[in-house]
Amino acid sequence: MSNESPEQGSNAGYAVPDETGHFGRYGGRFVAETLMHALDELDDLYRELKDDPAFRDELADDLRRYVGRPTPLYFAERFTEAVGGPRIYLKREDLNHTGAHKVNNTVGQALLAKRMGKPRLIAETGAGQHGVATATVAARLGLKCDVYMGSEDIKRQSLNVYRMKLLGARVIPVTSGSRTLKDAMNEAMRDWVTNVDDTHYIIGTVAGPHPYPMMVRDFQSIIGTETRAQCLQDLGRLPDVLVACVGGGSNAIGLFYPFIADQQVRLVGVEAGGLGIETGRHAAPLAAGVPGVLHGNRTYLMEDDDGQIIETHSISAGLDYPGVGPEHSYLKDIGRAEYASVTDDEALNAFRQLTRIEGIMPALESSHALAWVQREGPAMDRDICLVINLSGRGDKDILTVAELDGIEL
């Protein structure tokens, strides 16, 4: 591991967000007045603790002994041969405790909740990975935990729902709107407004009002910090291309952030193209959205001519969100990162191929990043080193895949 703290990348010259949480025109803090003071308090505490050696040691220790970090950087030899292009490495976030990168953030925010003395955690979840990661840290610290989840997502992620219940959390079905991740986030905000005195809201991605996009990025940047050190050690140089799926965008920003100042490293975020961008049935606001304000920040959104948020579609519940973290909007506009999309079918093919030839079953979310490499990799030079963030494991998705295969389990 490098000497840098997990929270900080190596980013001289890249200084967003500003004091008020703005990434250029994006980000900020657009919430009801009732929450403003709680956000101020959270911001103050986080700024104080992020550079506090005792806090950093405690976090690093939790990440090592409880989460199982560092995660390996794995050379996927047979996947590399199958793609027939760059040398492909997988950053194995699927090997984290609870099976995805989400726990990097919940461990950090749980420490904040403990310092604030708040006995109750709430979270929103789509695929259930963030809900499981929140329920996990709540169980460990003896905190009460309520997880909001769209009733549609509860259907397609029943395994994770049961995991959360086993961990002692209450899973509250959300039946408003499209009954998916965005509606779960609305309901979590309503809960927080009502219970702000004794409750900490652990937002699971790099969205929401300031300081969440910054704070979640910092906690997730352990992914890129480790990747950087591992590349320097294993390859003797930095990678050429980084690829990650983007829903809210926390695993992508976690990988990208420590490389942003390394202009030679190409950063590729892959959105959920659903049934195809041209059909309108997708979850790719960076590809087909416009800037607007939702869930506390300004960012690219999928909406109609009146600014009503429109329903999204993705085979992957974790990517099924009409917005995206504001820092991705900023990175898109300044041209530092590029954003592409792959369809449900392409992601499924990648899921099957990686499972069969590497013995690694990826989450459907992460399969979007793999699918982009399958599609674009053959045109790349063979001496290119490419890292894919394998952000989660696919066990939670087997019911979805089995159903598509016509198999009832």
Chain contacts with another protein (rule: CB under 8 A): 20, 28-38, 176-177, 182-183, 185-186, 189-190, 193-197, 290-296, 298, 301, 303, 305-310
Contact 378, 403 (CB under 8 A): no
Question: 358 an active-site residue?
Answer: no
How many CA atoms within 13 Å lie on the side-chain side of 147?
36
| Between 86 and 209, CB nearer to another protein | 209
Of residues 10, 316, 366, 391, which has the active-site annotation?
A: 391
Least gap, CB of 58 to another protein (angstroms): 29
Helices (H), 12-101: 33-50, 53-62, 77-83
- Tokens found for residue 133: 């990661």
Least gap, CB of 45 to another protein (angstroms): 16
| Between 37 and 165, CB nearer to another protein | 37
Give 345-354 contacts, CB < 8 A, sequence gap 24+. 346/273, 346/371, 346/374, 346/375, 347/272, 347/315, 347/316, 347/371, 348/315, 348/401, 348/404, 349/374, 350/374, 351/394, 351/397, 351/401, 353/79, 353/82, 354/76, 354/79
Least gap, CB of 138 to another protein (angstroms): 22
| Between 276 and 307, CB nearer to another protein | 307
Least gap, CB of 114 to another protein (angstroms): 21
- Tokens found for residue 235: 């390859």
Of residues 102, 118, 332, 396, which has the active-site annotation?
A: 102
Question: 366 an active-site residue?
Answer: no
| Between 79 and 212, CB nearer to another protein | 212
Q: What is the dihedral of CA 2, 12, 326, 217, to 10 degrees?
A: 20
Least gap, CB of 182 to another protein (angstroms): 7
Residue in the structure block whose two tokens are 């104080």? 48
| Between 14 and 30, CB nearer to another protein | 30
**Hey, is 377 helix, strand or coil?**
helix
Question: 124 an active-site residue?
Answer: yes
Least gap, CB of 286 to another protein (angstroms): 17
Adjacent-strand bridge partners of 402:
none
What whole-number distance in Å separates Cα of residue 233 and Cα of residue 349? Answer: 32
| Between 41 and 338, CB nearer to another protein | 41
Closest CA to 88 of 342, 341, 362, 383: 383
Of residues 124, 327, 358, 376, which has the active-site annotation?
A: 124
- Tokens found for residue 267: 């950063």
Q: What residues are labeled active site?
A: 102, 124, 391
